[in-house]
Amino acid sequence: MPSPKPNVVHPHLRPNQIGLTIRDYEGSMSTLCAGCGHDSVTAAIVRSFYELSTPPHLIAKLSGIGCSSKTPTYFVGGAHGFNSAHGRMPSIATGANAANRALTYIGISGDGDSLSIGIGQLVHAIRRNVDMLYIIENNGVYGLTKGQFSASADIGSKSKRGEVNRFGPIDPVSLALDLGATFVARSFSGDKEQLVPILKAALSHKGFALVDVISPCVTFNDHEGSTKSYLYTRKHLLQLISADFVPFAREITVDYAPGTATSVRLHDGSVVRLRKVEADYDPTDRQRVASHLELHRNRGEIATGLLFVDKQASDMHDTSKTTEVPLAQIPYEKLCPGSAKLDELQKTFR
């Protein structure tokens, strides 16, 4: 068992707007391998919620099966949580979301959970534009079963024992773009300066926000020949666009040269400011983003940043006209009006 985390805080640690310190957003101690990228993603999630001052009891954490899916235990201990069957987290998230839209939904999945067994679930959650943050902790291997290639492993990359992968990868970012996702980003567990603003923007986005995080498996995929190792990722990472998250209450004070920055105002009034590294990159033009990604992939570069955002699209609640009141708060008689009403309804279909 790992040592417990000391119950002590830095005396200069500041509380956020609702009076909680960053340590109030932690969960229990991680039982993942020491050095796992997932723990860094967890730390970035903790920081994001703390900085957004989200009340823990208004957060719902969901996951499926795998190393990644263990991580909801390690953040925001005071949140709601559901650990579903392998690959079935999107369905649970969709159902929960339909029943109660007052919560902030965060789903944590992995490349195995999302791109193999659960890919059919993932694509429909994207298609329905479920209002949630969906993180794929992407390390290219099945860590819990000792390091077999996953569906995101690059062709030609080597396993720890030297075996070469012969199948091409599924890129969740391209997949999401193609399916009409409204917020698509990629980041790296080892770069919190980029990851935290992206997560905060994704949490504030209305609709499905997919964040693909390269999160190295320190035990089975951090060797030479791996394309998902810390070293390889750092060498090939290209920050295509960098995001600054500006909460609603704060004024924008930094000016950028014209043409280098785009501001996107989210539904809650907060602003994501995107600084473009390449002048002709337009993160709101789905087609051009897709071709840019293709270009960088062919160059062997891992494009990162908030790659695409569309704030016009309507989310599942708009489309399905769901109730704004959580089902749990609707009086039972109204929620279930009885068999007479049901018969009445059925008559209309005859």
Partner 1 sequence: MNPTDVRNPDYFHKVVDCQWACPAHTNVPEYIRMVAQGRFDDAYLLNRDSNVFPGILGRTCDRPCEPACRRTRIEEKPVAICRIKRVAADNRGDISARLPKAPAKKLGKRVACIGAGPASLTVANDLVPLGYEVVIFEKNALPGGLMRTNVPSFRLPAKVLDEEIAMIVDMGVEVRYGQPVASMKALLGQGFDAVFVGSGAPRGKDLDLPGRKEAGDRIHIGIDWLESVAFEHIHQIGERVLIIGVGNTAMDCCRTARRIGGKDVKVMARRPRPYFKASPWELDDAEEEQVAILVNHVPTKFVVEGGKLKGMEFERVDWRKDAAGKQISKTIDTVFIPADDVIVAIGQENAFPWIERDVGIEFGKYDLPKVDEKTMQSTRPGVFFGGDSAWGPKNIIWAVAHGHDAAISIHNHCRGLPVQDRPGPEVTLVSQKMGLAEWSYSNDYSTAKRAKMKHVDLQERFKRISTEVEVGFDAEQTKREVERCLNCDVQTVFTDKRCIECDACVDVCPTGCLTITPNGEEGELRTRLTVPAANTAQELFVSGGLPQTGRVMVKDEDVCVHCGLCAERCPTAAWDMARFDLTILQAGQTGCTSNK
**In this complex, which beta carbon is closest to partner 1, that of residue 40 or of residue 114?**
40
**In this complex, which beta carbon is closest to partner 1, that of residue 36 or of residue 106?**
36
**In this complex, which beta carbon is closest to partner 1, that of residue 5 or of residue 299?**
5
Find the shortest distance in angstroms from Cβ 151 to partner 1.
Answer: 24
Cα distance between residue 58 and residue 344, in whole Å? 37
Find the shortest distance in angstroms from Cβ 7 to partner 1.
Answer: 6
**In this complex, which beta carbon is closest to partner 1, that of residue 100 or of residue 229?**
229
Backbone phi and psi for residue 22, each to the nearest 5 degrees, phi listed first:
-60, -30
**In this complex, which beta carbon is closest to partner 1, that of residue 38 or of residue 186?**
38
Find the shortest distance in angstroms from Cβ 120 to partner 1.
Answer: 33
How far CA 43 is from CA of 27, 155, 165, in Å, comes to: 10, 31, 31
Q: What angle do the packed helices 37-52 and 192-204 form, to 10 degrees?
A: 50
| Residues found near partner 1 in the complex (CB under 8 A) | 1-13, 23, 30, 33-37, 39-40, 42-43, 189-190, 192, 216, 218-219, 222, 230-231, 234
Find the shortest distance in angstroms from Cβ 14 to partner 1.
Answer: 9
Cα distance between residue 219 and residue 222, in whole Å? 7
Find the shortest distance in angstroms from Cβ 134 to partner 1.
Answer: 22
Pick the closest to residue 103 from 69, 141, 57, 64 (CA basis).
57
Cα distance between residue 46 and residue 29, in whole Å? 13
Find the shortest distance in angstroms from Cβ 3 to partner 1.
Answer: 5
Find the shortest distance in angstroms from Cβ 71 to partner 1.
Answer: 12
Backbone phi and psi for residue 242, each to the nearest 5 degrees, phi listed first:
-115, 145
Find the shortest distance in angstroms from Cβ 335 to partner 1.
Answer: 43
**In this complex, which beta carbon is closest to partner 1, that of residue 4 or of residue 338?**
4
DSSP per-residue letters across 152-173: TSPTT-B-TTSPBP-SPPP-HH
**In this complex, which beta carbon is closest to partner 1, that of residue 21 or of residue 284?**
21
DSSP per-residue letters across 275-317: EESSTT--TT-HHHHHHHHHHHHHTT-EEEEEEEE-SSS--HH
Counting Cβ atoms within 10 Å, is residue 288 exposed (0-12), middle (13-18) or buried (19+)? middle
* Contact yes or no for 139/35 (Cβ under 8 A): no
**In this complex, which beta carbon is closest to partner 1, that of residue 94 or of residue 219?**
219
Cα distance between residue 153 and residue 170, in whole Å? 8
Backbone phi and psi for residue 101, each to the nearest 5 degrees, phi listed first:
-90, 5
Cα distance between residue 324 and residue 298, in whole Å? 45
